[in-house]
Amino acid sequence: MPVERPLIIGHRGAPGYLPEHSRSSYARAISAGVDAIEPDVVPTRDGVLVVRHENEIGSTTNVSARTEFAERRRTAVVDGERLDGWFTEDFTWSELRTLRCRERIPAIRPESAAHDDEDPVLSLRDVLDLARAGGVGVVLEIKHAAYFARAGSDMAELVERELRDADWWDDPALVIESFEPLVLERLRERGIPAPLVQLVEAGGAPWDLRERDGARAASYASMLTPAGLDALAEAVDGISPDKRLILAPDRLGRVRGPAPFVAQAHDRGLRVFTWTCRPENPFLLPPFRRPGGPSAFGDYEREWALLRDARLDGVFVDHPDLGLAFFGS
């Protein structure tokens, strides 16, 4: 059954105000009163899980300014996308922890970018300790498991090891999510008691299924059909679709939602989260944008009201104070 008030989850901390995944960003989210914080995890060369949006870190750290690491710049294909930059798997943890966090989208969030290079890169253990000290939960996202498996890193094994070492393996405040269903399946096989949540993109198919099944890979859209939801209800505890799927806009951006799959998922006992509630114009559907450019806030409350009407179980927010004021009342 849906809850009266959704969980308010600080998406990578409070990145509307401070560089994502930084200690300051997480601390701001916790002090604002969120129910949980969300770290994304990728591994280092020596198997330490670090919190970064992606394993390419050229745009989220000061690595490009570190001349001693210049030779590690390279090109890699990650989930079908060719990327040029620096990658966490080419660094040890002792090296990565010397880097500093930077704002990923400075043109939209210049005030956050003013805090570039202040905070060091964190490990998952750092964030787990912050969450426990702050009395909040953790929604842990596993990134690029199939890519790292090819490189010799078993993300399910690494996550289990870290959670057990930090005494979070069976913590009731833990949720684990991924866009890749096979890593969630492996965690279930390993006996993790935490709720597992399937992240759902607005298009395409999970990369791990594409690698395994080729053109026959189940699409994200198929997961939200009645048959797809039946299968998910046997495998996971919840879904977390892109908010556009819930809003279901037409070709002009006019909202037609909430989409029927939300109620259908609840009928099957699945929790329904969504990502990501952001107030700036570029992240809103066209009818809710206002003058002022990309960094200006649009009429976000009108868009968020439609998500609230869907009676979701959790929402990911970049501005915890705004999320709590809107969804928490």
* Paired sense of beta strands 36-38 and 137-142, if any: parallel
The pair of structure tokens assigned to 125 is 């253990």
Distance between CA 324 and CA 224 in Å, rounded?
Answer: 28
Of the chain, the end-to-end C-alpha distance in Å amounts to 19
HSE of 294, CA atoms in CB hemisphere, 13 A: 7
Tell me the whole-structure pTM to 2 decimals. Answer: 0.97
For residue 314, list its beta bridge partners. Answer: 7, 273
pLDDT, tens digit (0-9, with 9 covering 90-100), for 209-236: 999 999 999 999 999 999 999 999 999 9
Using CA atoms of 97, 180, 223, 37 in order, give the dihedral in degrees to the nearest 10. -20
User: How high does pLDDT run on average in the chain?
Assistant: 97
Map residue 317 onto helix, strand or coil. strand
Give the domains, in start order, of the chain with CATH numbers: 7-327 (3.20.20.190)
pLDDT digits (tens, 9 = 90+) for 261-311: 999 999 999 999 999 999 999 999 999 999 999 999 999 999 999 999 999
Predicted confidence at residue 3, as pLDDT, reads 57
Nearest to 41 by CA among 129, 111, 139: 139
